[in-house]
Amino acid sequence: MASGFSDVLIGLQYGDEGKARIIDTIAHEYDVIARFNGGSNAGHTIESNGKRISLHQVPSGIFHDDKILYIGSGCVVNPEKLMAEIAEISALGLSLAGRFHISSLATLVQPHHVLVDQMTGGHIGTTGQGIGPAYADRALRLRGTCLLHIRTGDLLSHPENTFKHVRENLEVTLKTMPGQQLDIEKTMQAFTTAALAMVQYIQDDTLFMPKLAAAGKRILFEGAQSFMLDVVKGSVPFVTSSATLAAAAYVGGDLPPKFHRKTIGVAKAIMSRVGNGPFVSEFGGVRSEEYCMADRSVNSRDVEKKLDVEKLLASADPFEVGKALRILGYEYGATTGRPRRVGSLDLVQLAYAARSNGVDELYLNKCDLLKDFARTAEGTIPLVTGYISDGHPIDYVPASVEIGRAIKPVTEGIACFTRDIAEARKPSDLPAELTAMLKRISASVCPVRGIGVGPAREQYVAFPEDSLKKTAA
Ligand code: IMP
């Protein structure tokens, strides 16, 4: 019998590394693109032929109409958000008919999950999409006789009973929130309509993925939220609520690990993080964290775009430099619109993530933005190349948030380029300074196989295997 294989692609930093655009670029090598974790908290933006879409639940790969798209049992699915996303996809003239499948074992995000997340997720800085409460109910299973964990397959087998449980969960939750004005009838009506519309995509064959692999299909698993936000391995509690590491693909993606071929990591040349939590290389440190988590009236894209970017960039204050880089890199959340905290590329963190996940090859996005460092006071690209913890060098990211916050980064300034590389399409189009930096990353982290030089599909430079030989420049 023919046998296919599966690769796993994950983000190696704190999310928003541009995973979707890399998937869009390499999708032609695969038959199936599958999600294995998370839900509508993910925000993956792709651009193609002038079309731009922010995906939240539907796997990337929608621009390739011959691909099978799959949402695995490790995901949490919000029917209303999903149907709205499908409407947006259809409006672009793209069809999901016959090729989009949701595991009948995936968990439903119910209205009370969203409510609880919005009431309680503030300190973590969650996306307010109900993700944590949905995973919590998945583990709790039952409250008395009321079903807390409801799966998409329940909509196929006993829809009326399912809606009864969803309503009961909402009513019980509302009793604990005096003063909450939510209209139960309206909420249930919207949920029911969307859930019934979603039924057509539910795949009740729980061997769907093993059958595809056995039939020779090439599968790409698409991670959401990224390694540093893993529910166990990340900076707990400032993390998401699912397993985001590469190995999780073989739990939440409904395929045995024997099909695994390679692990692909995606990072970006100027890092970002949304929500609270340690971020060693952040420009402006805790001040930036507090500013980005403050009210949108002070820090929204609309407020920041009125600032003088060149003045901020030339400032001696890293906090101001960070603001400039956020504006230039359009670092605002795709799901929440929040400003993202911005930091320099941290090679200790990147190598740690690559080793933890056994990453075989690396893609680095937003390399075009590195040229902006030429207009800073130092005029060099800052790279974090060492961590000092309690007076000693360490080569890992500590489990403790307190220790993580106390790390002193060792930062090196490397030569910057000034040329615009948005039109670069092959390695020889790149400035020597950037090639030297990529060689260094290939030697110290893992081989770089491609870089992004702009947001559009064609703004990409591929490196043939071994072209950035392990010789640090
Ligand atoms: P939650 O996943 O909504 O519970 O949020 C938990 C943390 O993960 C927060 O800091 C979020 O900002 C972060 N997070 C969740 N999804 C994403 C994503 O797709 N990109 C970046 N950060 C995310």
Identify the active-site residue in 16, 24, 31, 254. 16
Gap from CA of 297 to ligand 1 centroid (Å) = 21
Residue 185 confidence (pLDDT): 98
pLDDT digits (tens, 9 = 90+) for 122-168: 888 899 999 999 999 999 999 998 899 999 999 999 999 999 999 99
274 CB less than 6 Å from ligand 1? Answer: yes
Using CA positions, which residue lies closest to atom 5 of ligand 1? 126
Question: Would the CB of 43 count as within 6 Å of ligand 1?
Answer: yes
Mutate to test the pocket of ligand 1, among 75, 109, 115, 225 (most ligand atoms within 8 A of CB): 225
Distance (Å, rounded) from C-alpha 212 to C-alpha 3? 9
Per the rule left: phi > 0, alpha: psi between -120 and 50, beta: everything else, 225 is left
Q: What is the pLDDT of residue 473?
A: 39
Cβ(114) – ligand 1 distance below 6 Å: no
In 3D space, the residue among 277, 287, 295, 240 whose CA is nearest the CA of residue 401 turns out to be 277
Active-site annotation holds for 123 = no
CB 8 within 8 A of CB 221: yes
- Would residue 112 show up in a list of annotated catalytic residues for this protein? no
- Residues of the chain with pLDDT below 70 are 1-2, 335, 470-473
18 lines ligand 1 (CB under 6 A): no
Structural contact between residues 318 and 283, judged by C-beta atoms closer than 8 angstroms: yes
Other C-beta atoms closer than 10 Å to the C-beta of 267 total: 29
Rounded to 5 degrees, what are φ and ψ at 379?
75, 15
Q: What is the DSSP letter of 81?
A: H
Let me know: does 467 contact 427? Beta carbons within 8 Å.
yes
Ligand 1 neighbourhood includes 16 CB (under 6 angstroms): yes
Cβ contact 9:260 at 8 Å: no
